[in-house]
A = this chain, B = another copy of it.
Amino acid sequence: MFNVHAATATAPAVSPLPSVPANALRARPLATPAPKRVDAEAYQRASQQITDTLAVLRDTLAPQRRVVHAGDIVHSAGEQFTHLFIVNAGLYKVINLTPDGREQVVGLKFRGDWLGFDGIAGQQYTCDAIAMDTGEVWMVRYDALLASAARQPVLMSLLHEAMSREIRRDRDSLMAVCTLPADARVADFLRDWADSLARRGLRTDQITLRMTRAEIGNYLGMTLETVSRALSKLAKQQLIGFDGKGRRDIRIPDVAALTAFVQDCVAPEANGGVTLQ
């Protein structure tokens, strides 16, 4: 893990394509600490956008609503693909399975996310989607969705954007697993969770993980002991705090500090920060 070797060690190769230089993005200065108010506005906008999107879907599709409780299976691997599911409320884990018996949490879904995209290609779902809490999903027959979308282009856009976002997010997960050490991965996981909540207009200073350490570890590619140690370390540095009786309620006083911690793991000497071990 934590590979420092360069990835793109290929020849410069003058490109005939009408595109910006390969390293246009890399050339920009690192660390982009945007002002806090802008973030707050952006989050509020994102939250409103999710609400609006759900309203459109509800009004144009009149989806079948289904209330779920912790442990309920929304769809499972091997099952015939018929529906896509839109998360209106609750929290869901997506579990992938391999023929040889390995299984892993490969995604977590919140309000506004969709479930079941993996089923489109092969006519059957290739993973389990399980509710981790009481919630509500909207069921939409895929063929009905296509029919509606043919008449209402906005529906098609929403669908494509949701799939596109999922592809992006999966890639980010892969990157986190491949390029961050265990501590940073846990920190990034919490940061990401808080961010997901923020973009849905929820408070981020207090999050409730509805997962065991084993599940978190499975998601992040490490053992439960390593997760526990990482959390303890973050707590010792005051980056997180444990609230309530159990150790699943986590307080995040400053999300930006978590981000900084991740940064520091990536480039320890770059930042002038004191590495208080």
Contacts and interface: CB of A to CB of B under 8 A. Distances in A.
Interface stretch (A115-123, A201-209, A235-243): A115-123
A22 B73 CA distance: 7
7 closest Cβ contacts across the A-B interface?
A: A13-B71, A178-B221, A120-B164, A121-B164, A170-B170, A7-B218, A25-B78
Contacts of A9: 212, 214-215
Contacts of A96: 171-172, 174-175
A183 interface: no
A25 B168 contact: no
Given A25-B76, A78-B25, A177 B174 contact: yes
The number of times this chain is found in the oligomer is 2
Interface of A: 1, 3, 5-13, 15-17, 19-22, 24-26, 30-32, 66, 68-79, 94-107, 117-122, 126-128, 130, 132, 146, 150, 153, 156, 160-168, 170-175, 177-179, 212, 214-215, 217-224, 262-263, 266-267
22 contacts: A3-B217, A3-B222, A5-B214, A7-B95, A8-B130, A10-B70, A10-B71, A10-B130, A12-B71, A17-B66, A22-B73, A22-B130, A24-B76, A104-B178, A106-B175, A118-B168, A121-B165, A163-B167, A170-B170, A170-B171, A174-B174, A179-B221
